Structure 1
């Protein structure tokens, strides 16, 4: 889902919906006690987001150091879940201690939000009909024979794979592409594949030439077969596969060096 310059994945929508449920439950529960809870819930969400961001930035401080302003660019979706939950829990504890009338409605609101989030993620998993492994769809390559993602994996057995679907007209794609091109040499144990979704090869080649970018595994999907298979709704979309070719993660929107490192840590464990 796209909102202005932001691409929001299904997991983010689940969190937003869960927060809405928590607010609704809080309003109902607080009414009987004549307590004002909504402001507290918004403050709790803000504290949780700030804590999640700060913990993530602290974990990957070395990658943010060259460009400190990237810390403020939340489009990379760099948040630490446990850091955010800890921050939110601490705020809830303090609020409950200061205003006893808030304890029950606050606990009920958080329970309703947590249950909604759990059901939402369960629903996402149940409705996910996309392939769980690398596809065998043949894709064109510049000056080479067609090949599939599974075929590329066979040529590099045991290596995790990152598949970036992009287009030359996509602003975030153009912004992250130099970083991903450098990642090819920074992470030699990972196969990076770039699948272009432009309607013509000329647009892709013109952008790469003007930017001076060299991509080792460059595939062309002018018919958008791969994008349709993975139900891509916006670009860039990046898929992460482990060494057995199984899909482990999907990132919708801009990647930063830090969020790329976090995703790769989940694949390689290092």
Structure 2
């Protein structure tokens, strides 16, 4: 799911995105140098415009969720971006410069082609690896100290949230999950606490007045190691047959959670 970089954890999706971008910069610089042109500023503008348009399209698509919390539009930690919007915004910038600056066409086209080739290859490899991931088969305990296996929940699509009471973004997204669990009976939401014991979790839920079902304990954090999660919160979305369809590292908003749910339980 993610890679630890010093005190930070980055998802593979973010890493692959920036790898593709820096390869585009390198190829654009090498080809542009031979033609005495510089396309690095153009590639940076493509990145910035693409991100802005991607966010705008996503917000418009989920305006019902954002309208009640306008400041949430500026909170990019939820990962709410539209791939279609981002590609469209970047291409508009590229088309403008390809039309107005003929001298940079070769360098800019080469840089874009390299980025697309790297991105598509990495996505295919990543999706192949992800599709091979299945539900953890270890035994957990409920807050009532009852043993349970995750296979108990595979009659429906499953959302697994790895969290801890000391994790601020975990705490912020809990009300979002509580609302989703109450509204989406077609999905099993399972919360696996990492590194803590039942009394700590129970006290926290009671103090915050959180009513969450399927709360499991993993005091040795075995799930994080098994799934390759380097940070909390981490959320995994499995289809009804137990295949990993999507993963998200970091805080989820109502909009980004609803977007991810469409991958396993479209309405």
TM-score range, shorter chain: over 0.9
Shift of residue 151 of structure 1? 1.8
Residue correspondence of structure 1 range 24-63 to structure 2 within 5 A: 24-63=26-65
Contact 1:6 1:75 in 2 (8 A): no
- Report SS of the residue matched to 1:266: coil
Residue correspondence of structure 1 range 1-270 to structure 2 within 5 A: 1=3, 7-125=9-127, 128=129, 132-153=133-154, 157=155, 159-270=156-267
Shift of residue 142 of structure 1? 1.4
Distance in structure 1 (CA, Å) of the matches to 2:22 and 2:171: 34
Contact 1:7 1:253 in 2 (8 A): no
**Which structure 2 residue ranges, 5 or more long, are not aligned?**
none
C-alpha spacing 1:34/1:57, structure 2 compared with 1 (3 Å): same
**Which structure 1 residue ranges, 5 or more long, are not aligned?**
none
Contact 1:30 1:36 in 2 (8 A): yes
Distance in structure 2 (CA, Å) of the matches to 1:255 and 1:7: 16
Aligned residues: 265
Q: What is the TM-score of this pair, normalised by structure 2?
A: 0.93
C-alpha spacing 1:130/1:55, structure 2 compared with 1 (3 Å): closer
Q: What is the TM-score of this pair, normalised by structure 1?
A: 0.92
C-alpha spacing 1:131/1:199, structure 2 compared with 1 (3 Å): farther
Contact 1:167 1:196 in 2 (8 A): yes
Distance in structure 2 (CA, Å) of the matches to 1:175 and 1:247: 24
Shift of residue 222 of structure 1? 0.4
RMSD: 1.9
Shift of residue 123 of structure 1? 3.9
- Report SS of the residue matched to 1:147: strand
Shift of residue 49 of structure 1? 0.7
